[in-house]
Structure 1
Amino acid sequence: MQGVADTLREFWAHRPVRPRAGRKLGGVATGIAMRYQIDPVIVRIAFVALALSGGVGVPMYLAGWLLLPEEGDQVSPLEALLNKGHSSMSQARTVLLGLLMFPAVAFPFNDGGFQVFATLAASIACIYLLQKNRGHLQPATTLADPPPVAPVPGAPAWDPLGAAPFAWDLPEPAPRPQPPAPRPRKPRVAATTLGVATMVLAGSVIAGIWAPWFTAPHIIGLLVAVLAAGLLAGSFVDAGRGLIWLLVPLSVVGFGLTTVGFDGPNDFGDLKSTPKTVAEVKDRYEISVGSVMLDLRELPDSGSVKTALEADLGELVVHVPKNADVTFNCEASSIGELNCLGKQADGSTVQVGGTDLGENGEGGLKIDLDVLTNVGEVKVLRD
């Protein structure tokens, strides 16, 4: 594995350069061919085959366009966007290519799973083999050299003391005062992470248009992943702590979106019901976010009722008469706290149930309860 890592690092250090001449689009295929001295037609056919094999070739080509520098430039377009050097590609065009990456990546993962990962693994293996076997070849195109240092205006082109330096008796120059050492600047982890997160957000919105399965929870999940990666990187250089204030609420929102189903504005709030007859008891009392309180203590002492209470996020409370025969099932499918006729449980995916005949034993009103919540508190009380 160490050899593989060294080879990949060598590939990045001497990566292909996109030439200005002889290219068809962005010069990615031509740059790879010239770097490893193979026929450009072979590389172009490979990209076309990858594009037809689940669409993987499109995001790979766009990635090469963003990460491989152009001939005569100092860095790649993406590095130039992060102020790492100069690139001839404009920042607007770089951002546009970055946004196009999101639908290009979403499309293949929407249509296939194992095939996509297998194709990506095979592509990385081919890059590794190229670098391993032909990485020693000299690249045909190179990056731009750093700009030369300009001469100081007004300085003579010849040294008047160079003819006979021994003829001069000059005092030793006093040592020049050294400027104070600049304070080291912390890496701008937070700013860079927020910039990447903004691109992810914009690109994800575009991807959602092309791939309907790419919904809000997916977008928030990507943003949480980007912020978490920035926070992890910042922990090594003592920077980026401000990302916590954005990461925590996003994580809470993401958790809520993955556990709560929102069907409309009427599913929020508090729902209270106190039926006085068996016929008034509904089959189901349901809410998305809020609380449901069902009071059955005013029902008659005979007959039978069956009802269910359900909430995605909130509190469910049922009051039953003292002498009723109650069969109950209480459940929290994600996280919750249960207190149902003396049976208690709390934690993740908990459930209690049974039959309670009340103070007078069997006989009287019969109640069948099913009380379910995703996240919240469930109570069935006899008082």
Structure 2
Amino acid sequence: MWPAAAERNLVIVSGTEKAMQGVADTLREFWAHRPVRPRAGRKLGGVATGIALRYQIDPVIVRIAFVALALSGGVGVPLYLAGWLLLPEEGDEVSPLESLISKGHSSMSQARTVLLGFLMFPALAFTFGSGGFQILVTLAAAVACIYLLQKNRGHLQPATLAEPSPVTPVPGAPAWDPLGAAPFAWDLPEPTPRPQPPAPRQRKPRVGLVTLGVATMVIAGSAIAGIWAPWFTPVHTIGLVIAVLAAGLLVGSFVGGGRGLIWLLLPLSLVGFGMTAIDFEGDTTKLGGFDATPKAVADVQDRYEAGVGSMRLDLRQLPDSGSVKTAIEVDLGEAIVHVPKNADVTFKCEATSIGELNCLDKRAEGSEVQVSGTDLGANGEGGLKIELDVRAGVGEVRVLRD
């Protein structure tokens, strides 16, 4: 018994080593025959278009894949930058990064290469700061997709848009007409073409229908499993459906079909991104925003909150004296505060994820932006004092004096 068990273990280890060696060989082959970024037909750096041409798949599918990866914790951004740095451009000897270490010529300037390299640091910091295990799984899935592409379509020649050049006649050579020497043959009747049997209709792969069926079963299964397992929340269910749709697009890129799944994957990815970036804290009353116009200092609440919607706080009906301090926060939407023209306003405005700020003529927009200051109004110091802390997770913040 012992020798047989040892022999089985040896066979398993040997098979695992061969499998790992096969994966390594495929990835080395990918690097040796990696895609080339074309100069024409690209949207940004040509990474998606180069991959599509190399493996003869639809460029739209590759672009959608990068967008979906960017929405899945930001993984798509460093992956695209890595492709920009490591894939050579059409007509170049080596990639921009290889050119930087003097391995050959690249048309990209060294300054631009260094800039792209610096952009990798915040991209990687944002990606790995948003969740470790999920990011590792997403990266592993991306590497697996590259492996599958190279394994199944690596033998294909890169697609080109070049037309075959016409044959140019040799100068001085006589043109030969097979009927020129037989005038009686000029009026011969045209031969009657033989009827050809109709070409058999090719059945289109039903990738889209099968994928939608699987997605429906995932939704139903999650709804049933959620009764006993709290993990199956709406957010996690949407994530599972996005994974199913992405897998359907990947299969469709090999066998054809399934392109219509893009129009379902995009909005679901945006919804999933919004639901994971926004904390609703389980309070459904925070949905919808509010519109408040207090007329007395005592009517102003210490804090106003909303999950999704438009928040408007009008303080112009308050008296000309006293002191007010309040905070306004919205996860997704806009927060607008109107202040009296003569009030002394101390403010802090912030977009914690991404947004646009316009607070008493101090403006900013982008990711994690903030402005603050004090504005004494038209009459200078004196009168009603207002202290504001206005925040939006994703959206717009405005403090207006009108």
TM-score by length of 1: 0.51
The residue aligned with 2:15 is none
Q: What displacement does 1:192 show?
A: 2.1
Structure-2 separation of matches of 1:324 and 1:6? 71
Q: Matched residues, percent identical?
A: 74
Which residue is 2:315 aligned to? 296
- Give distance in 2, aligned partners of 1:310 and 1:225: 32
SS in 1 for 2:251: helix
The match for 1:228 is 246
CA distance in 2, matches of 1:208, 1:270: 29
SS at match of 1:316: strand
Q: Is 1:259 aligned to residue 277 of structure 2?
A: yes
Note the C-alpha offset of 1:265.
4.5
1:34 is aligned to none
Q: Whose radius of gyration is greater, 1 or 2?
A: 1
Query: 1:318 matched to which residue of 2?
Result: 337
Query: Is 1:328–1:368's contact at 8 Å kept on the other side of the alignment?
Result: yes
Question: Does the C-alpha gap of structure 1 residues 238 and 376 become closer, same or farther in structure 2, counting only changes over 3 Å?
Answer: same
Partner in structure 2 of residue 274 of structure 1: 293
| CA offset digits 1:147-173 (Å, max 9, x no partner) | xxxxxxxxxxxxxxxxxxxxxxxxxxx
Letter paired with 2:329: E
Q: Residue 302 of structure 1 aligns to a residue in which SS?
A: coil
The one-character-per-residue Cα deviations of 1:199-231 (angstroms, maximum 9, x if unpaired) are: 332333344344313321111011112112212
Q: Provide the C-alpha distance between the structure 2 equivalents of 1:199 and 1:298, rounded to a whole number of angstroms.
A: 55
* Partner of residue 399, structure 2: 380
Which residue matches 1:305? 324
Gaps in structure 2 of 5+ consecutive residues: 1-19, 27-131, 141-194
Q: Select the residue among 298, 302, 306 that pairs with 1:287.
A: 306
2 CA distance for matches of 1:182 and 1:290? 56
Matched, 1:351 2:357: no
Distance (Å, rounded) in 1 between the aligned partners of 2:308 and 2:277: 11
2-structure distance, mates of 1:291, 1:178: 67
CA distance in 2, matches of 1:290, 1:218: 23
**Cross-structure match for 1:13:** none
Check if 1:369 corresponds to 2:372. Answer: no
Q: Cα 1:2–1:189, aligned 2, differ >3 Å: closer, same or farther?
A: farther
Q: Could you say which residue in structure 1 is the equivalent of 2:265? A: 247
Aligned to 2:233: 215
For 2:21 and 2:337, the matched residues in 1 are separated by 62
- C-alpha distance after superposition, 1:35-94 (max 9, x if no partner): xxxxxxxxxxxxxxxxxxxxxxxxxxxxxxxxxxxxxxxxxxxxxxxxxxxxxxxxxxxx
Which residues of 2 match residues 23-62 of structure 1 at below 5 A? none
| Aligned-residue RMSD, C-alpha | 3.0
- Once residues 5 and 211 of structure 1 are traced to their aligned partners in structure 2, the CA distance between those partners, rounded to angstroms, is 39
Contact 1:186 1:237 in 2 (8 A): no
Q: How far is 1:300 from its partner?
A: 2.1
Count matched residues. Answer: 219
Matching residue's letter, 1:351 = Q
Select the residue among 206, 218, 229 that pairs with 1:200. Answer: 218
The residue type equivalent to 1:233 in the other structure is V
**What is the CA–CA distance in structure 2 between the aligned matches of 1:308 and 1:357, rounded to whole Å?**
19
Report the 3-state secondary structure (helix = DSSP H, G, I; strand = E; otherwise coil) of the residue aligned with 1:203.
helix
Q: Indicate whether 1:328 and 2:347 are aligned.
A: yes
With over 3 angstroms needed to count, the CA separation of the structure-2 counterparts of 1:335 and 1:278, relative to structure 1, is: same
